[in-house]
Each structure stands twice: as C-alpha cells, then as structure tokens.
Chain A
C-alpha cells in the first residue's frame, strides 16, 4: 500500500558515523549516553539531511523532532557539590553565543535514530529550512524562531507560533528573564520570579546576601498592618 515498512535492523552508531563521514568528511560525531550526535555546519545541513533520508542504508524516513538549546557567550563556572555527588566542577567558556538546533532523525524501516546538531549564532543567526524535506518540520521550526529568534530561510511562513505576534523577545533564550513581564496582581502586590526568591542555589556567583530579595506577599500584608 505504501512505501513505508517497519522493521528491525538497526545500524550501529559506528556504521552511521562511517557512512555519513564518507560523504561529509567535516561532520564530527559524538556518542554520549548511548546516543549518536552528528555536528553539521549550516552549509552542509540540507545535503546531509537529504542524504540521511534518501540513502538506502541510513533510510531515515521520519524527522522525529526538532528542538533548540541556547548557549550564550561568556564564561560560566559550574561548581558541583563534590562532597555529596562526586562529580567535579568544570568551566565553560564560549566566544560566541549559539543556538543549537537538534534534528532527531528516525528510520522506521531499520529502527534506529540519531541526532544531527547544527549551531547558529544567537545574534541574528539563520539556518536553512528543512520543510522542503519534511513538511512536518513546519511547526517545530516556527517554535524555534519564536522561542530563540533563529530565522529559517525559505520557510513557508516564518511567524511566531506560541507567543502573540507582537511579542518582544524570544522567551527560551538564556538572556530572557523568567518573570520579565509585569503582571498586575491584586492590591499592587509584587510576586518575585523564582530566581529572585531566596532559593538555596548550588551554583551562582552572586552571594545570597547581595541578591535582591523583594518582599513576599505575606510580608507586604504585615507592613501595612493588615494582619492585626
């Protein structure tokens, strides 16, 4: 009835890596947590994805997922509680901020999947659209545009999808604060966003004492003498 068959003959990660790198020598591969990630450049992206879809051995008929992650520029020290967890601290430093877009490719006929990651600048970065290969990438790409500001060139309708059309900013970026929108609460109360509350954070270079600690709703009441 259709050209879609479902089978179980997955390629190993090494074989997928080998097949792709034979055609695209610049593509780096990484296997972590048992998941294969191929790092493609924006120039190679469409050709690579088309190759993965049309190659008889890779046979990735479906694009399972498209998702974005924002890694801003700058230096970040990640300190872990080595005494309790045993995991060491490390330092992350990036010269340019990127939005990494992850394409999860799935082969139904062979039953394997892997990830193709493609990074673009977080400051006006663009990527070619994959809606020409999988029309189902339409909504996910619009979501990434909405949430991270990455423009997908050639997309049939590059508009916001979840946020209102006139929204400013891209909410899932790391430089977009949580609770950044003023909300009118009853009696002019101010509910601080979670990251301004006095949470005992494992990380963070701001000492708790200097952090801005707004009054909690209960405090506001007692200040006006409303409790008596």
Chain B
C-alpha cells in the first residue's frame, strides 16, 4: 500500500497547530511564540494566529480556527430541506446569497428541477450586488487594517445602500433565506429595477473615490506591493480559488467555466493579474466590482417576466404572496383558495409547510463562484424530507491554509496585509 506520497514540497506548505501550545515551547533559541487573536482587530473576527517570531520577522504562522464553529452542517440534518436555507445563509455572512443559491442549486439538482428564468435572473442580480457588498467590506476592513481608516467608513457606507436593496426585497439586511429550492420566496417589488438603477449610478461614482484615495497612494501601494506573493502553481496546489487565484494569473472563474443560473447569457471579463501579490488582489477585486455591475446591467435589461417559483405544487413553497405593511407575507387570493375552495390544496399546503417535500436519494456537488472563491455544496440525500448530510467547501477555509506560505520570513505588518488580502470570513471558515 503506497500510503506515503513522495512529492517534496518542503515543509513551508504545511500548516499545523493544535489549540494549545506547551508553555515551555513558547520560547525557542531565538524565537518566541506569540498569540495573535482570536480577539484582534485585524483578524477578521475570531481567527487566531500562533506566530513564531524572530524579532519582527515571522518564521511560522499557524492559523487556529474553530472559535466560531456553530455546527450548521449538523443542525441542518435535523431540519427540512426548505429550513436548510435559513441555516446555510448564516455560514459566510458577508455573502449570504451565494450560500443560499449554491444550496438551492444542489437541492434542485437532486430534485431534477430548474428554477424559472425570472428567478434565475433575480438570483444573478442579487448575487452580483452581494459580491460588490462583500468586496466593499473587504476594502473597508482591509483598509482599516492597513491604516486607511477613512476607507472603512466609505466602504461600509456604500455597502449599506446595497443592504437597503436586499432589505427592501427580502425583509432582511443579511441572512435572508429568501432564495428557496425551486425559486424565490416571493417576487421582487415594483420598484426593484429602479432601486437597482439607482445603485448602478451610485456605485461607479463612489468607486472613483476609492481609486482616488488608494490606487496611487504610496502608503497603500507600499503596504501591498510584493507582499504575500502566491504563485499560480502554489495556489492551485493549496486549493486556493477566487481572487487570490486570479491575481496569480489563472483566469479560472466558475461563472465562465461551469455557468449556472444563466451566467452564460451575460458578457463579462474574468479579471487576472500576474503579480500574485496583495496589490494584485486589490486590483482584481476592484475590477470585479465593475464586472459585477456590467452583469447586473445586462440582467436588468434582459429581466424576463413570469413566475419566480417552479409550478410543481409538491415542491413550490407558496411564492405568490407579497410583503404587506404588517411585515408578513400576504396573499388574499391564495388564502381564499386553500381556505375556501380546495380541501386538497389546504392539505398540500399544510404538509408542505410542516413536513416539507422529500428529495430523491443521491449525492451532488454544486460549486458557485463566491466573492472568496469556489463555494461548493456537497449535498447527500437518503430520500427523506431532511438532508442526510450537507458538506460545505468554503473558500475561506481552504484559502486560509496559504497564510504561512505567503507570510513566512516577512514582517508582522506584512502578515496583516496577507490576512486582509485573503479576506477570510470566519463564519464560513468555522461553519
């Protein structure tokens, strides 16, 4: 049995680290071991980095994770398929729509159904706005960590406008659980297109401000250029995806490679840079926001009419209702139908809401291109009304492994830039 593989990558590529170090080990010959995090303003939540320092030089970094572990994968096994959306949306909390869409695409693949065109287009629009919002948070927090405090205020300010759009459509700023297996929870409001147009006018204007602020800023450039270089080969070997991979010169984007939700209809460019450093990642993300707006523009122009939920009443959660002034979903027509006309419809409604639908047995893997890279849902069903197992391949979780490779033998301050440029979201890392 060939258990050991012989390829020699050197020790740098491996990260290790248990929760506790023995105290005697903390001081070495010339190095000291220092804890950075889990509570630290520049670790994006509760990431803990155990650093081996020689003076100001980082000799080794061990990311220690699990401080935000919430057992979502386990919990979802005890809920119905529709309730699953409520859970998965809370994983990577900066890109909730991607979690929902990937999960719903996986369930739809198992069910062998496809959401209506209108639902797909709205998913794309919201996902791309979500990408902009997520990159804005990255710009904001990354800027703050590197000393551009003003950027934090601006990034969050514009993000709030996007979250206003989400709130107006889904009722929630984040963790929407609005995308459901088979389509959407309800149709968009009448002013949806107008609100999107407003954002499409607002964001490019503000993006010029960010560029004025950062692009030629010598401090910003100095902190990022040649910091955290990751070559394409290393990135692929480490499983790194998303802007990090594209900044290393690999034009791989799942929206192009394996289109879903109708991405093949939209024209956009996959952004790449050759340098593979933190500044290249900044440029890639900045340009990705522009491409997102291009996609939204086309999706708005093409926005088809029709239903937003599949017609099959065995699966379709009532999606005709609209949000009333009382904050609840109302549909007098539907209520009249189930309460006054059809006993069968009432039974179906009752069973759908209490038991949910069952999903044929099998296993699927559905990846989508989230703002951080490949977000994959490996969903296993055993043919009941609850998922048998949901495994999530979260891009932050995998990308974090490259921290040591990128920050070894650099200054501590460079480590901050490296972690910022990975853009890990701990809700996704720990799940």
Contact = CB atoms under 8 A, between A and B. Distances in A.
Task: Report the interface size class on chain A.
Answer: 35 or more
A102 interface: yes
A2 B248 contact: yes
A131 interface: yes
Contacts of A202: 355, 358, 384-385
Interface string A74-111: 00101011001101001010000000001010001001
A200 B354 CA distance: 7
Interface stretch (A17-25, A61-69, A182-190): A61-69
A108 B233 CA distance: 12
Contacts of A62: 236, 239
Given A33-B362, A111-B258, A130 B238 contact: no
Given A2-B233, A139-B398, A128 B250 contact: no
A139 B365 CA distance: 19
Contact of B5 (A78, A111, A133, A201): A133
Contacts of B236: 4, 61-62, 108
B74 interface: yes
Contacts, number: 204
B287 interface: no
A201 B77 CA distance: 13
18 contacts: A4-B249, A42-B1, A63-B239, A67-B391, A111-B257, A128-B1, A131-B5, A134-B238, A136-B240, A140-B398, A156-B14, A159-B18, A162-B65, A162-B431, A163-B66, A164-B66, A178-B75, A200-B354
Contact of A4 (B66, B232, B389): B232
Interface in B370-406: 374, 376, 378, 380, 382-385, 388-389, 391, 393, 397-398, 400-401
A216 B15 CA distance: 45
Nearest to A202: B385
Contacts of B78: 178, 193-195
B73 A172 contact: yes
Contacts of A163: 66, 69
A162 B354 CA distance: 33
Contact of B109 (A33, A65, A128, A159): A33
A137 interface: yes
A42 B13 CA distance: 25
Nearest to B232: A2
Interface stretch (A43-51, A207-215, A219-227): A43-51
Interface of A: 1-4, 6, 8, 32-35, 37, 42-43, 46-47, 50, 61-65, 67-70, 76, 78, 80-81, 84-85, 87, 90, 92, 102, 104, 108, 111, 113, 115, 128-140, 143, 153-154, 156-157, 159-165, 171-172, 178, 193-195, 200-203
Contacts of A76: 382
A85 B355 contact: no
A65 B374 CA distance: 10
A6 B388 contact: no
Contact of B249 (A1, A43, A92): A1
Contact of A172 (B232, B374, B389): B389
A46 B73 CA distance: 28
A67 B4 CA distance: 20
Given A104-B365, A135-B13, A153-B3, A161 B237 contact: no
B348 A87 contact: no
A161 B66 contact: yes
Contacts of B77: 178
B35 interface: no
Contact of A1 (B69, B110, B238, B274): B274
